[in-house]
Each structure stands twice: as structure tokens, then as C-alpha cells.
Amino acid sequence: MADCIFCKIANGEIPAATLYEDDDFRVILDLGPGSKGHSLVLPKAHYANLYEMPDELLGKAMAVAKKAGDALVKGLGADGLNLIQNNGLAAGQTVFHFHMHLIPRYEGKDEVIGWTPGTLTDGDKEEILAKVKI
């Protein structure tokens, strides 16, 4: 995709701090980190979001996330790791080239993720199970 910043970064046309690269992926440091070591897993081929990603490449993406996440946590002495992947404006996606966020977490620091838990009512349960067909 000619105008896609992540296509250019993933394929080395625009430099980025690269932690890992293979034939299909590049793992880079996020320019606006939510915590120390916040990184992005980018496929070199352009897919806008999760639904466009072929299943086989998704499997590989998860394996890369596992390997890079483990190295980030060990290398930086983190206590945990969040794996986040946004799809659509409403979900916070700002760059429309599939990517996974690897966000190392440190005890007592970096409250970057969270929600206030609601309640799963019987009505909600019934409605959701009736409407969602996988």
C-alpha cells in the first residue's frame, strides 16, 4: 500500500528501532510507548486489520509475539505483558495496517490498560448468545 506508514516501516523504507525481523514480520519500538519497551509486531504485507489477516500468518504473528514478548519481559525485567490488538476506530485503531501491541508491565507502574468491570446480566447473556454465531 503506497501511503501506508507501517508498510514502509515493516519493509525498511522508513527506519525504525527494530528488535526482530524475519521474512514476514518486523518488531519495532512504539514511538508513543505506554510503558518501557512497548513494541509493535508488524507483518511486512499489508492487511488492514485482524479480519483481513490469513489464518496461517496470524498463527505466525502470535508466535512472533510470544518470542518477542518473552525477550522484552526478560530483557527489561518486566513483571507482566499485555498483548493488545485494535480493530476499527471505535476500538482505538489509528494505523490501518494490522499490528499487535506488546506492552511490558511493571509492578506498581504504568496503568495503561483497564476498564471498570460492569455486570453480565441474564438478559445480556441471553441476547449475546442468541445473536453471535461463530
Q: Annotated catalytic sites, by residue? A: 99
With beta carbons less than 8 A apart as the criterion, state whether 81 and 106 touch. Answer: no
- The least CB distance from residue 4 to Zn ion, in Å, is 3
Q: Which of residues 55-114 bind Zn ion (CB under 5 A)?
A: 97
Binding-site size, ligand 5GP (CB under 6 A): 14
Contact with ligand 5GP (CB under 6 A) among 2, 31, 129, 134: 31
Task: Tell me the Ramachandran region of residue 93: left when phi exceeds 0, alpha when psi lies from -120 to 50, beta otherwise.
Answer: beta
What, of Zn ion, ligand 5GP, none, does residue 16 touch, CB below 5 to 8 Å by kind?
ligand 5GP
Distance of CA 49 to the CA centre of its chain: 11
Contact with ligand 5GP (CB under 6 A) among 11, 20, 21, 30: 30
Q: What angle do CA 31, 102, 113 make, to 5 degrees?
A: 90
Q: What beta strand segments (E) does the chain contain?
A: 18-21, 25-29, 39-43, 80-84, 100-105
- 73 contributes a contact to ligand 5GP by CB under 6 A: no
Helix (H, G, I), strand (E, B) or coil at 21: strand
Residue 20 forms beta bridges with which residues?
Answer: 27
Phi first, then psi: what are they for 63, rounded to 5°? -65, -40
- 15 contributes a contact to ligand 5GP by CB under 6 A: no
Nearest CB to ligand 5GP, comparing residues 2 and 132: 2
* Residues making contact with ligand 5GP (CB under 6 A): 5, 9, 16, 28-32, 40, 86, 92-95
* Residues making contact with Zn ion (CB under 5 A): 1, 4, 6-7, 46, 97
